Amino acid sequence: MPSADAARRGGYMQLSLFVLLALLCAQPVTAATYYISNTDGLDTRTAAQAQSTTTPWKNVRGMACATSNAASYTPVAGDIFIFKGGDTWSNACFELNWVWSGTTGNRITLGVDETWYLGGSWARPVWTGNNIVMASGANNRMIAWGGDFVTISNIEMTGGNWTSPTGSGSSCYVCLAGGTDGIFEKLYLHGWTDPTGDGWGIVGSGSIAPNHTFRYIVIDGSDTATVTADPDCTGNCYGGITAFYQPGDGGIFYGNVVRYVCNAYIIQASRFYNNLIEYVRNCQGPTHENAYLNLRDFCSTGTWAYNNLIRHVFGGVTFWMEPQVSCAATYAFNNVIYNVNTAGTPGNVFNISGGSTDSNGTGYFYNNTIECGPDTNPTDTCFNIDPGGSWTIKNSHLITSHADPINGTTAAESNNTIQTKAAANAQGYTSAQTYGFSPTDAGDATVLAGADLTSTCATVAALCSDAEYGVNFNVTTHVASSVGRTAVARPSGSAWDTGAYDQDGSSPPPSTGTPHPRAVLPRRIR
């Protein structure tokens, strides 16, 4: 029979082992890179095995189709999940319900490695809804997003079916249900079925925190049945889905391409720059079209919208900003806008304020080039300004035959060049130019016609270079990258040109976006 001391020592050893095991279990799991392949993967493999390209998991945690070890692994800060290029995940895997978070300096990433792919060359991994309602979840979503400090990159999402939408927060490719500081980049969203225009690309619901970044995303409806049935808008010219709808207050949007949709952006951005918006088509039902509608400009920093290219807009709203009272100032500059309100009904080309009861802040609108109406006959008002607030409109190039192109008595207007289309075309400003309505000669009307705004450079540095013309977009690979045009510095201490361009600017290669056959005029021979 053991002595009391021996029993006591045995008890101490058992307690020590228990404490040691508890401490070991409490230690944070080390972040790692995990590989995911629907073709080559097995969810039964261990987490250690899934860290090799030769033994990947089939799915990632949160996918409706994930099982076994893949479904039970809990992502930790710093984890990277690599989806095999060219591989496809089908309807049964969605929705993907993502609720795990990284940290400020240790993000979680769902992305790709362009050296790991199926076939002869790399292509994005494909997530498809197969044009039927998503297999899992009640809200017909491909992704339900809720994590903090997470990046999702380089995924192709297609085959969404939004024939029976159930409202905001559903019927979407990416539905944001929470989370902060997300980075959404290089996604390609297309191929949806949305006959009524009630689906969503990336949408927020409920109270969404700020600080998400959306960059180099392509949302393109050119391959949808609604568009292919009426490509030249000889019929109703219907589009489908709203590309971005309130995905968080104060978001940053840059380098994105949105085309062939009903609504492009209905957002609350703090920074909106180098985006291409084109072929915004007719919305069905009571909803009007929106190319860029910023609902309540961001208060703490103001909203800056610059270097964007917006063209071929059916009607509704082309550009709308709402500077807020007692908030930081709003700036809009170097934007190029042409061939809008093509339905023939005058709409809002550039609207300042409106919509909110407290939209009476401060806004500066410098060096924008705007053709105010359809390219066939631009006769619309360029700026529609609500009473109240402090607005400055300066150095703009406005192409219209309207008698009152800046409609509002509260704006301070100066150094704006206003031309009819005939006068502009006679000097070589046309939509058919590589860079629409840009000057070609030192004697053109916009050259040296502007005020020197160099003093603003300390606050808004990007203003002191000319237009970057949106983003470079390859319609074959569906990739947005870099800027659409290489900008040059505006002169310091002397007169600027009006409009978005400086006549001494360089002429780099054009964007590879395909012009609409009805949207351009023949190039003028000089």
Residue 15 confidence (pLDDT) above 80? no
Mean pLDDT check: name the lowest of 79-93, 278-292, 390-404, 486-500: 278-292
Residues 254 and 259: their CA atoms lie apart, in Å, by: 15
Alpha carbon of 405 to those of 202, 318, 370, 393, 417: distances in Å? 35, 15, 11, 12, 11
Give the model's pLDDT for residue 519.
Answer: 32
Express each pLDDT in 343-379 by its tens digit.
887 778 999 875 555 567 899 999 999 999 999 999 9
Give residue-wise pLDDT tens across range 258-270.
999 999 999 989 9
CB-CB contact of 318 with 350 (8 Å): yes
pLDDT reading at 514 higher than 50: no
What percent of the chain has pLDDT above 90?
A: 71
Which amino acid would we find at residue 123?
A: A
Q: What is the pLDDT of residues 467-495, one digit of tens each?
A: 999 999 999 999 999 999 999 999 999 99
Backbone angles phi, psi at 451, to 5 degrees: -85, 150
For 79-103, the pLDDT digits (tens) are 999 999 999 999 999 999 999 999 9
Kindly tell me if the per-residue pLDDT of 518 is higher than 50: no
Q: Give the contacts of 9 (CB within 8 A, at least 6 positions apart).
A: none
Q: What is the mean pLDDT of residues 422-428?
A: 98
Tell me how many degrees the CA angle 110-111-114 measures, rounded to the nearest 5.
Answer: 160
The residue type at 24: L
Q: Cα–Cα distance between 260 and 519 in angstroms, integer?
A: 14
Confidence band of 128 (pLDDT split at 50, 70, 90)? very high
DSSP letter assigned to residue 358: T
Q: What integer pLDDT is reported at residue 5 of this predicted model?
A: 55
461: how many CB neighbours lie within 10 A of its CB? 9
Place 169 in a pLDDT band, splitting at 50, 70 and 90.
Answer: low
Report how far apart the first and last C-alpha atoms of the chain are (Å, whole number).
112
CB atoms within 10 A of CB 479: 17
Q: What pLDDT was estimated at residue 517?
A: 32
What average pLDDT does this structure show over 63-78?
Answer: 98
Residue 249 scores a pLDDT above 80 = no
Report the pLDDT averaged over residues 274-294.
90
Lowest mean pLDDT among 42-46, 252-256, 503-507: 503-507
In the numeric block, which tokens belong to residue 60?
A: 């990632």
Best CA proximity match to 501, nearest among 514, 512, 488, 510? 488
Residue 51: both structure tokens together: 């860290």
Tell me whether strands 362-366 and 80-83 are parallel, antiparallel or unpaired. Answer: unpaired
Torsion 306-308-312-313 (CA) sign: negative
Q: Is the pLDDT of residue 510 over 60?
A: no
User: Residues of 182-219 as b/e, b for ≥16 C-beta within 10 angstroms?
Assistant: bbbbbbbbbbbbbebbbbbbbbbbeebbebbbbbbbbb
Cα 25 to the center of its chain, rounded Å = 42
Cα 34 from chain centre: 28
pLDDT digits (tens, 9 = 90+) for 18-54: 444 443 343 346 999 999 999 999 999 999 999 999 9
Q: Which residues are CB-neighbours of 320 under 8 A, at least 6 positions away?
A: 290, 292, 293, 294, 348, 351, 354, 355
Q: Quickly state the pLDDT bin for 209 (edges 50, 70, 90).
A: low
